[in-house]
Structure 1
Amino acid sequence: MRVWLVFIGSLLLSLSAQAAPMGFKDSWMTMGDFSKTFREQTANYALTPRDAIGVTSTYMQTNNYSQTQLNNELTYTRLVKRWNMPEAQANIWFIGGVGETTGNYFSGTKATVSPGIQADYETTRLYASANARIYVADGITNNVVSARAGFSFYEANYDETQPWLIVEARRMSMVSTQYEVTPMLRLIHNRIFVEAGANLHGQPRLSFMYVY
């Protein structure tokens, strides 16, 4: 019985796909994150249980619109390490991209590289993660760092909707030197993941993820 409980718990964790930047082998994933100062759209394909390739478009701007930047990239995601525990899972991911960037505060189009790392820990009721990504082009260096923590209101089966409360602190060097704090409601159902909220300045934010 204990073996079955461990198996079922691990299965629910793997199927929840709460914040993983890629799905299971041979799956496609689409993701989007939209707010006033940051918009990102991603699609990737999982070549193996640990590797995915895709495309990403990331747009950043200051609150007063004085600076804008658009990055279009080919991306590679790698599950570097996973720890499977009886009632929890922890992961370290590498996420990197190569492509081009344009903006209104420099001339022309520049080649861009953007290495990053994500670490996360989750159970069926608790979640925490940290993420860092740097965008480097000729004469330009921008970074995005964030930390998240949250909890689910109750446990749910795979075919039921599970609500979570998530709070994120994020700093985007191009946008501001200050951290943006955003409480969000997260809903997970099967392979669909949706988050909606607003930062402490009242600016709305919406994100989604779908695995198919």
Structure 2
Amino acid sequence: MNRLSQLLLLGISVLASQVSAAPMGFKNSWMIMGDFSKTYQEFAVNYATTANDAFGFSTSAMQTDNSVSKQQNAEAVYTRKLARWNMPEAQANIWFIGGLGATTGNTFVGTKAMASPGIQVDYETTRFYSMASARVYAAEGATSNITTARLGASFYEVDYDEAQPWLVIEARRMTFVSKQYEFTPMLRVIHNRYFVEAGANLSGQWRFNFMYNY
């Protein structure tokens, strides 16, 4: 394989990694993200001002399985790439994701100020993906956290302009919803600038996620 081909394959790997794992896109790009299930819904948008920094806005809502307890969040969000390791056939990243905003709900009175610091670590190749993240939603008398771990594998290699299917398994605990982990297998399809995911947890509750970067 000549040098040009090696660089091209590395570039393809990096771009695919940005689509599949990164919480922000390349410099001067917009990213739109959504995560929808019975117990958690989020819609977010951000703009990458540099290769390492993005600013945006997020709205999210959580509720228990029986729909008795509910909470809604609205916040300005800052994303920072803290570290990146580019390897010949892999990439690893550490991200900071934090927000400032307000929360409302039916388990407390009024609107409370909220801060939501978090960290994400990911590693992947064009065939394997792993991620772990933790984020705290801190408000006086209404603090909760979300802890997530993911493993994924692609079915086969594809060219840069082709869609690639993956199988992803996620373990997630949202303390507002439950003290137990929720396990959800999902089918993910990745293309140049977007991915979509669909699946159901072990209780049969559907989940749909998407991301578009432009």
TM normalised by structure 2 equals 0.97
How do 1:63-74 and structure 2 match up within 5 A? 63-74=65-76
Q: Which residue of 1 aligns with 2:9?
A: 9
Deviations 1:130-168 (A, max 9, x none): 010000011121000010001000011121010000000
Deviations 1:45-69 (A, max 9, x none): 0000000000000110000111111
Q: Is the 8 A contact 2:91 2:123 kept in 1?
A: yes
How do 1:6-85 and structure 2 match up within 5 A? 6-16=6-16, 17-85=19-87
Distance 1:80 1:4 in 2: 29
TM-superposed CA distance for 1:3, in Å, is: 3.4
Q: Is the 8 A contact 2:108 2:142 kept in 1?
A: no
Q: Is the 8 A contact 1:10 1:84 kept in 2?
A: no
* Letter aligned with residue 55 of structure 1: F
Question: Where does structure 2 lack aligned partners over 5 or more consecutive residues?
Answer: none
Distance 1:114 1:161 in 2: 34
Q: Which residue of 1 aligns with 2:136?
A: 134
The worse-fitting range, judged by mean Cα deviation, of 36-45 and 6-15 is 6-15
Where does structure 1 differ by over 4 angstroms across 4 or more consecutive aligned residues?
none
Alignment match of 1:194 (pick from 196, 199, 210): 196
Is 2:88 the partner of 1:86? yes
Deviations 1:10-44 (A, max 9, x none): 21122221021000000000000000000010000
SS at match of 1:66: coil
Q: Is the 8 A contact 1:9 1:86 kept in 2?
A: no
Q: Is the 8 A contact 1:97 1:115 kept in 2?
A: yes
TM-superposed CA distance for 1:6, in Å, is: 3.7
Q: Which residue of 2 aligns with 1:155?
A: 157
* Letter aligned with residue 82 of structure 2: V
What is the Cα-based RMSD across aligned positions, in Å? 0.9
State, as a whole percentage, how many aligned pairs show the same letter: 62
Distance 2:68 2:170 in 1: 25
Q: Structure 1 residues 65 and 82 mapped into 2: Cα distance closer, same or farther (>3 Å)?
A: same
Q: Which residue of 2 aligns with 1:207?
A: 209
TM-superposed CA distance for 1:2, in Å, is: 5.2
Q: Which residue of 2 aligns with 1:102?
A: 104
TM normalised by structure 1 equals 0.98
TM-superposed CA distance for 1:189, in Å, is: 1.2
SS at match of 1:15: helix
Q: Which residue of 1 aligns with 2:122?
A: 120
TM-superposed CA distance for 1:9, in Å, is: 2.8
SS at match of 2:14: helix
Q: Is the 8 A contact 2:128 2:152 kept in 1?
A: yes
